[in-house]
Amino acid sequence: DAGVIQSPRHEVTEMGQEVTLRCKPISGHNSLFWYRQTMMRGLELLIYFNNNVPIDDSGMPEDRFSAKMPNASFSTLKIQPSEPRDSAVYFCASSRVEGWQPQHFGDGTRLSIL
Amino acid sequence: QKEVEQDPGPLSVPEGAIVSLNCTYSNSAFQYFMWYRQYSRKGPELLMYTYSSGNKEDGRFTAQVDKSSKYISLFIRDSQPSDSATYLCAMSGNAGNMLTFGGGTRLMVKP
Protein backbone atom coordinates (compact mmCIF):
# COMPACT_ATOMS: atom_id res chain seq x y z
CA ASP A 1 0.00 0.00 0.00
CA ALA A 2 1.18 3.50 -0.77
CA GLY A 3 2.07 5.59 2.22
CA VAL A 4 1.59 9.30 2.72
CA ILE A 5 2.96 11.10 -0.33
CA GLN A 6 4.39 14.61 -0.08
CA SER A 7 5.65 16.92 -2.79
CA PRO A 8 7.99 18.49 -3.49
CA ARG A 9 10.70 16.72 -1.48
CA HIS A 10 12.89 19.79 -1.56
CA GLU A 11 12.07 23.44 -2.13
CA VAL A 12 14.47 26.33 -2.25
CA THR A 13 13.06 29.78 -2.83
CA GLU A 14 13.71 33.40 -2.06
CA MET A 15 12.18 35.36 0.75
CA GLY A 16 8.82 36.84 -0.14
CA GLN A 17 7.83 34.11 -2.56
CA GLU A 18 4.73 31.97 -2.15
CA VAL A 19 5.37 28.34 -1.22
CA THR A 20 2.86 25.51 -1.62
CA LEU A 21 3.42 22.11 -0.07
CA ARG A 22 1.27 19.15 -1.06
CA CYS A 23 0.14 15.98 0.65
CA LYS A 24 -1.78 12.88 -0.37
CA PRO A 25 -2.88 10.86 2.67
CA ILE A 26 -3.17 7.08 2.83
CA SER A 27 -6.34 5.90 1.13
CA GLY A 28 -9.10 5.39 3.69
CA HIS A 29 -7.51 7.69 6.25
CA ASN A 30 -9.78 10.60 7.13
CA SER A 31 -7.56 12.55 9.53
CA LEU A 32 -4.68 14.60 8.19
CA PHE A 33 -1.98 16.46 10.12
CA TRP A 34 0.65 19.02 9.14
CA TYR A 35 3.83 19.23 11.25
CA ARG A 36 6.98 21.32 11.15
CA GLN A 37 10.33 19.97 12.38
CA THR A 38 13.33 22.10 13.33
CA MET A 39 16.42 21.41 15.38
CA MET A 40 15.43 24.01 17.95
CA ARG A 41 11.74 23.16 18.42
CA GLY A 42 11.46 19.54 17.29
CA LEU A 43 8.19 18.32 15.77
CA GLU A 44 5.32 20.77 16.13
CA LEU A 45 1.73 20.22 15.05
CA LEU A 46 0.54 23.07 12.84
CA ILE A 47 -3.01 22.03 11.94
CA TYR A 48 -5.15 18.94 11.57
CA PHE A 49 -8.28 17.97 9.64
CA ASN A 50 -10.98 15.39 10.26
CA ASN A 51 -13.07 14.47 7.23
CA ASN A 52 -11.62 17.46 5.33
CA VAL A 53 -12.67 19.94 8.05
CA PRO A 54 -9.98 21.88 9.99
CA ILE A 55 -10.29 20.95 13.66
CA ASP A 56 -7.38 22.69 15.35
CA ASP A 57 -5.13 25.30 13.74
CA SER A 58 -3.70 26.71 16.96
CA GLY A 59 -0.21 25.64 15.90
CA MET A 60 -0.20 27.73 12.74
CA PRO A 61 2.46 30.31 13.54
CA GLU A 62 1.13 33.30 11.63
CA ASP A 63 -1.48 34.44 9.14
CA ARG A 64 1.13 33.88 6.45
CA PHE A 65 0.40 30.16 6.85
CA SER A 66 -2.78 28.60 5.49
CA ALA A 67 -3.90 25.03 4.89
CA LYS A 68 -6.70 23.51 2.87
CA MET A 69 -8.13 20.07 2.29
CA PRO A 70 -10.48 20.28 -0.70
CA ASN A 71 -11.09 16.51 -0.77
CA ALA A 72 -10.19 13.32 1.10
CA SER A 73 -7.09 12.64 -0.98
CA PHE A 74 -5.34 16.01 -1.12
CA SER A 75 -4.18 18.79 1.17
CA THR A 76 -1.99 21.86 0.76
CA LEU A 77 0.01 24.01 3.15
CA LYS A 78 0.75 27.46 1.81
CA ILE A 79 3.15 30.11 3.07
CA GLN A 80 2.75 33.60 1.64
CA PRO A 81 4.98 35.56 1.88
CA SER A 82 7.76 33.21 2.94
CA GLU A 83 10.54 34.24 5.35
CA PRO A 84 13.94 32.68 6.15
CA ARG A 85 12.68 31.58 9.60
CA ASP A 86 10.15 29.34 7.85
CA SER A 87 13.01 27.09 6.76
CA ALA A 88 12.30 23.65 8.20
CA VAL A 89 11.13 20.17 7.24
CA TYR A 90 7.36 20.01 6.88
CA PHE A 91 5.66 16.65 7.42
CA CYS A 92 2.20 15.46 6.62
CA ALA A 93 0.67 12.53 8.51
CA SER A 94 -2.64 10.69 8.26
CA SER A 95 -4.71 8.30 10.32
CA ARG A 96 -8.20 6.89 10.57
CA VAL A 97 -10.48 9.08 12.68
CA GLU A 98 -12.50 6.31 14.38
CA GLY A 99 -11.48 6.01 18.03
CA TRP A 100 -7.75 6.39 18.50
CA GLN A 101 -5.52 5.44 15.59
CA PRO A 102 -1.76 5.89 15.12
CA GLN A 103 -0.49 8.46 12.67
CA HIS A 104 1.60 7.56 9.65
CA PHE A 105 4.03 10.12 8.27
CA GLY A 106 5.25 11.05 4.84
CA ASP A 107 8.94 11.70 4.14
CA GLY A 108 8.52 15.47 4.37
CA THR A 109 9.35 18.55 2.34
CA ARG A 110 12.68 20.18 3.15
CA LEU A 111 12.07 23.91 2.73
CA SER A 112 14.83 26.49 2.50
CA ILE A 113 13.97 30.18 2.28
CA LEU A 114 16.93 32.31 1.22
CA GLN B 1 9.22 23.13 31.04
CA LYS B 2 8.17 21.02 28.07
CA GLU B 3 5.27 18.58 28.41
CA VAL B 4 7.47 15.73 27.17
CA GLU B 5 11.18 15.57 27.95
CA GLN B 6 13.63 13.34 26.13
CA ASP B 7 17.41 13.22 26.39
CA PRO B 8 18.70 14.33 22.97
CA GLY B 9 21.83 12.16 23.11
CA PRO B 10 23.65 11.23 21.01
CA LEU B 11 23.77 7.77 22.53
CA SER B 12 26.57 5.62 21.14
CA VAL B 13 26.64 1.86 21.81
CA PRO B 14 28.48 -1.16 20.38
CA GLU B 15 26.60 -3.64 18.22
CA GLY B 16 24.77 -6.22 20.31
CA ALA B 17 24.25 -3.93 23.30
CA ILE B 18 20.93 -3.41 25.05
CA VAL B 19 19.70 0.14 24.50
CA SER B 20 17.39 2.00 26.85
CA LEU B 21 15.59 5.12 25.63
CA ASN B 22 13.39 7.14 27.94
CA CYS B 23 10.87 9.96 28.13
CA THR B 24 9.24 11.75 31.03
CA TYR B 25 6.04 13.72 30.81
CA SER B 26 3.94 16.02 32.93
CA ASN B 27 0.39 15.72 31.55
CA SER B 28 -1.53 13.04 33.45
CA ALA B 29 -4.19 13.02 30.71
CA PHE B 30 -1.88 11.17 28.31
CA GLN B 31 -3.20 7.66 27.67
CA TYR B 32 -1.54 6.55 24.42
CA PHE B 33 2.24 6.27 24.19
CA MET B 34 4.17 5.78 20.99
CA TRP B 35 7.71 5.34 19.78
CA TYR B 36 8.70 6.51 16.33
CA ARG B 37 12.00 5.89 14.57
CA GLN B 38 13.31 8.50 12.16
CA TYR B 39 16.16 7.88 9.77
CA SER B 40 18.05 10.81 8.29
CA ARG B 41 15.99 12.66 5.68
CA LYS B 42 12.98 10.41 6.20
CA GLY B 43 9.68 10.77 8.02
CA PRO B 44 9.01 9.31 11.48
CA GLU B 45 8.08 5.62 11.28
CA LEU B 46 5.80 4.17 13.94
CA LEU B 47 7.57 1.42 15.89
CA MET B 48 5.19 0.61 18.72
CA TYR B 49 2.30 2.04 20.67
CA THR B 50 0.74 1.17 24.00
CA TYR B 51 -2.34 2.19 25.87
CA SER B 52 -2.07 3.16 29.55
CA SER B 53 0.49 1.38 31.75
CA GLY B 54 2.28 -1.88 31.09
CA ASN B 55 4.71 -3.56 28.73
CA LYS B 56 4.54 -4.46 25.07
CA GLU B 57 7.07 -6.54 23.17
CA ASP B 58 7.68 -6.77 19.45
CA GLY B 59 10.74 -8.73 18.38
CA ARG B 60 13.83 -7.00 19.73
CA PHE B 61 11.82 -4.01 20.96
CA THR B 62 10.04 -3.64 24.31
CA ALA B 63 8.01 -0.60 25.33
CA GLN B 64 7.24 0.11 28.97
CA VAL B 65 4.88 2.68 30.44
CA ASP B 66 4.78 3.67 34.11
CA LYS B 67 1.97 6.18 34.48
CA SER B 68 2.48 6.55 38.22
CA SER B 69 5.97 7.92 37.53
CA LYS B 70 5.05 9.56 34.21
CA TYR B 71 7.91 7.68 32.59
CA ILE B 72 8.10 5.60 29.43
CA SER B 73 10.94 3.51 28.03
CA LEU B 74 11.91 1.71 24.86
CA PHE B 75 14.40 -1.15 25.10
CA ILE B 76 16.24 -2.51 22.09
CA ARG B 77 17.90 -5.89 22.52
CA ASP B 78 20.82 -7.07 20.39
CA SER B 79 21.16 -3.64 18.81
CA GLN B 80 22.23 -3.49 15.17
CA PRO B 81 23.91 -0.75 13.10
CA SER B 82 20.61 -0.50 11.20
CA ASP B 83 19.00 0.68 14.46
CA SER B 84 21.04 3.89 14.20
CA ALA B 85 18.41 6.62 13.95
CA THR B 86 16.61 9.24 16.01
CA TYR B 87 13.93 7.82 18.30
CA LEU B 88 10.96 10.01 19.13
CA CYS B 89 8.46 9.36 21.88
CA ALA B 90 4.94 10.72 21.40
CA MET B 91 1.83 10.81 23.54
CA SER B 92 -1.84 11.68 23.32
CA GLY B 93 -4.95 11.72 25.44
CA ASN B 94 -8.24 9.93 24.81
CA ALA B 95 -9.89 12.95 23.23
CA GLY B 96 -8.92 13.49 19.64
CA ASN B 97 -5.69 12.37 18.08
CA MET B 98 -3.26 15.22 18.71
CA LEU B 99 0.25 14.03 19.51
CA THR B 100 2.84 15.68 21.71
CA PHE B 101 6.38 14.66 20.77
CA GLY B 102 9.58 14.53 22.71
CA GLY B 103 12.61 16.14 21.12
CA GLY B 104 14.10 12.81 20.03
CA THR B 105 17.18 10.81 21.04
CA ARG B 106 19.83 10.16 18.43
CA LEU B 107 21.17 6.60 18.65
CA MET B 108 24.34 5.33 17.01
CA VAL B 109 25.12 1.61 17.02
CA LYS B 110 28.72 0.96 16.06
CA PRO B 111 29.72 -2.30 14.34
Phi and psi at A4, nearest 5°, equal -70, 130
Burial of A67 (0-12, 13-18, 19+ CB in 10 A): buried
What does each of the 111 residues of chain B score in pLDDT, given as a tens digit?
788 999 888 999 999 999 999 999 999 999 999 999 999 999 999 999 998 888 999 999 999 999 999 999 999 999 999 999 999 999 998 766 789 999 999 999 999
Which of A21, A29, A51, A105 to probe by mutation at the B interface, max B CB count within 10 Å? Answer: A105
pLDDT of residue A82: 96
Is residue A108 within 8 angstroms of chain B, CB to CB? yes
Is residue A83 within 8 angstroms of chain B, CB to CB? no
Q: How far is CA A45 from CA B23, B60, B68, in A?
A: 19, 30, 27
Helix (H, G, I), strand (E, B) or coil at A99: coil
A108·B43 Cβ contact <8 A: yes
Which of A103, A107, A112 to probe by mutation at the B interface, max B CB count within 10 Å? Answer: A103
* pLDDT one-digit tens code per residue, B38-61: 999 999 999 999 988 889 999 999
Q: How far does A106 lie from chain B, in Å, by closest CA?
A: 5
A103·B96 Cβ contact <8 A: no
Strand pairing report for A10-13 and A65-71: unpaired
pLDDT of residue A99: 75
Distance CA A2, CA B8 (A): 31
Is residue B43 within 8 angstroms of chain A, CB to CB? yes
User: What does pLDDT average to over chain B?
Assistant: 93
Strand pairing report for B4-6 and A104-105: unpaired
pLDDT of residue B12: 96
pLDDT of residue B7: 85
pLDDT of residue A102: 87
Is residue B57 within 8 angstroms of chain A, CB to CB? no
What does each of the 114 residues of chain A score in pLDDT, given as a tens digit?
689 999 999 999 999 999 999 999 999 999 999 999 999 889 999 999 999 999 999 999 889 999 999 999 999 999 999 999 999 999 999 998 777 788 999 999 999 999
